[in-house]
Amino acid sequence: MSLNVLLTIAAVLGFVFGLGFLLAPSIVLAPFGIDLDPAGAAMTRFFGNALIALGVIDWFSRGVTERRARRALAAGNLSNFAVAAALAAGTYFAGIGNALGLANAAVHAVIALGFARHVLAGRHAPEAESAGGD
């Protein structure tokens, strides 16, 4: 799958879940079997804001052609989706939530693998000379 398609998927997920977590955290997490107290709802709203920010970055980065920038986008998204997969699985196995949380972990893991492919492929590409001397 192309990096642009992965960035589009990541952006849409960031927008949809970010808006949900920002505007209605308890409603969005209820299907996962998670009940929020007021402090949890507040923290979930901060998380929603971060997801929206990542979605904006991914959306507007889809057309980037510079190899190092594309690899940085892939690495950042790999980190995000891999850690989210581990957290979702850990939460489920700790007895928090329900099987939908495990499905969430699987979706994050699959997307993380897609980004990992782009990060690893970038390791073997020749380094481009920088005119600005990074």
Residue 48 near residue 18, CB atoms below 8 Å: yes
Cβ contacts of residue 114 below 8 Å, gap of 6+? 1, 6
- Is the pLDDT at 130 greater than 60, yes or no? no
- Considering only 82-86, 107-111, 118-122, which range has the smallest mean pLDDT? 118-122
- Is the pLDDT at 129 greater than 60, yes or no? no
Cβ contacts of residue 68 below 8 Å, gap of 6+? 128
CA-closest candidate to residue 70, choices 16, 125, 111? 125
pLDDT at position 7 is 97
* Separation of alpha carbons 15 and 26, rounded Å: 17
pLDDT at position 68 is 93
Question: Which string of DSSP letters, residue by residue, matches 58-117?
Answer: HHHHTT---HHHHHHHHHHHHHHHHHHHHHHHHHHHTT-S-HHHHHHHHHHHHHHHHHHH
Q: pTM for this one?
A: 0.85
